[in-house]
Amino acid sequence: MKPIYILNGPNLNRLGKREPEIYGTTTLTEVEAMCREVAGDRPIEFRQTNSEERLIDWVHEAIDEGAGIIINPAAFTFTSLALLDALKMFKGPIIEFHISNVHRRESIYHRSYVSMTATTVMAGLGAKGYPLAVRALESLIADERR
Ligand code: DHK
């Protein structure tokens, strides 16, 4: 069974301490555990980086190995054409995930490049939305959605 890739961008390593009024107090380690529990037999590659280059390299790995992608690109959502170009190459379903409702925040967070290729967007469910995204991705994989 091919793995799903759950990829997290810059500053998410500080989840739980970072602006808890926006992102909550759940840590990324706790998020990973929740995702693995929901995934059952499905292998998960759960990763975080502050590097755009590394994030793109992981998308390239997913292109060759992955069944689906859940990506929280964080600030790269709104800045990276390189990340958009990499995600366009992925043939499986892509869920763009944001902990906060980016559309209710400052306008700098309103225009996502990633949304131009994502299968669906989940935003505002909080960190506990990640396991829901795993369930949603399994459904998209089963339906062979892109
Ligand atoms: C996380 C970030 O780091 C921000 O740059 C985004 C996103 C929002 C989130 O809600 O997960 O604007």
Q: Which pLDDT tens digit goes with each residue over 49-103?
A: 999 999 999 999 999 999 999 999 999 999 999 999 999 999 999 999 999 999 9
Cα 1 to ligand 1 centre (Å)? 30
Residue 109 has what pLDDT?
Answer: 97
Question: Do residues 66 and 5 make contact, with C-beta atoms less than 8 angstroms apart?
Answer: yes
d(CA 3, CA 133): 14
Angstrom CA distances, 45 to 25, 32, 51, 116, stand at 23, 10, 17, 24
Please work out whether the CB of residue 11 comes within 6 Å of at least one atom of ligand 1.
yes
Residue 53 has what pLDDT?
Answer: 98
Question: Do residues 13 and 50 make contact, with C-beta atoms less than 8 angstroms apart?
Answer: yes
Question: Do residues 47 and 6 make contact, with C-beta atoms less than 8 angstroms apart?
Answer: yes
Q: What are the two backbone dihedrals, phi and then psi, of residue 121, each rounded to the nearest 5 degrees? A: -125, 130
State which of 100, 111, 113, 115 you would mutate to test the pocket of ligand 1, scoring each by most atoms of that ligand within 8 A of its C-beta: 100
- The dihedral through the CA atoms of 4, 136, 131, 39 has a sign that is negative
pLDDT digits (tens, 9 = 90+) for 18-46: 999 999 999 999 999 999 999 999 999 99
Cα 41 to ligand 1 centre (Å)? 29
d(CA 20, CA 23): 5
**Which CATH number fits the domain 4-145, given the four candidates 3.40.50.11540, 3.30.70.100, 3.40.50.9100, 3.30.460.20?**
3.40.50.9100
Residue 90 has what pLDDT?
Answer: 98
Residue 80 has what pLDDT?
Answer: 98
Cα 144 to ligand 1 centre (Å)? 28
Residues assigned a catalytic role: 23, 98
Please work out whether the CB of residue 70 comes within 6 Å of at least one atom of ligand 1.
no
d(CA 125, CA 128): 7
Residue 26 has what pLDDT?
Answer: 98
